[in-house]
Amino acid sequence: MIMEKQLQRVTEEQAKKLFDAGFDWECNHFYNKKGELKYSERTDTSFSYLSVARVNAPTVALALMWFRNVHRLVSEIRIYSDCVYCFDLHKNGILLHHSLLSFKTYELAESASLDELLYLIKTKNV
């Protein structure tokens, strides 16, 4: 079983964009105002990163699950025979975006797909 500590966390920039997009799921990890990743037993989600010294830092996997559950947006990571990864984004089974970029690792593709989802939400293109 994969433990949460082994999963990739969102970057500080992604964390702020997730907050702006309405991400309100409980997290024990957060970024403080200095940009440092910290851990707390407290899982308060009722804060603003502009007024309080923290912004939630979920794993990339949890952020993608939030997009699936809340916005019905699905990120599909695919591997090709030459061990490169790419991603497609779907909403309700309809292809919204096919990445023309390739990535050396699954984690890089996953993080890039999160960036694209955050962009789509911000620009209201979904």
pTM of the model: 0.86
37: burial class by Cβ within 10 Å (0-12, 13-18, 19+)?
middle
Q: What local confidence, expressed as pLDDT, does residue 49 receive?
A: 47
Average pLDDT (8-34) is 93
Task: Give me the chain's average pLDDT, please.
Answer: 88
Under the banding of pLDDT at 50, 70 and 90, the label for residue 46 is low
Average pLDDT (67-90) is 94
Order of strands across the sheet that contains 73-79:
73-79, 85-91, 94-98
Half-sphere exposure of residue 74, counting CA atoms within 13 Å on the CB side? Answer: 8
Between 47 and 27, residue with greater pLDDT:
27
> Nearest-CA neighbor of 10 among 87, 85, 73, 66?
66
Q: What local confidence, expressed as pLDDT, does residue 51 receive?
A: 47
Contact 90, 77 (CB under 8 A): no
Q: What local confidence, expressed as pLDDT, does residue 118 receive?
A: 97
Question: Cα angle at 111 between 11 and 88, to 5 degrees?
Answer: 155
93 alpha carbon, distance to own chain's centre: 20
| Residue where the block lists tokens 């993608």 | 64
Q: What local confidence, expressed as pLDDT, does residue 63 receive?
A: 98
Q: Which amino acid is at 14?
A: Q
Q: What local confidence, expressed as pLDDT, does residue 50 receive?
A: 46
Contact 118, 66 (CB under 8 A): no
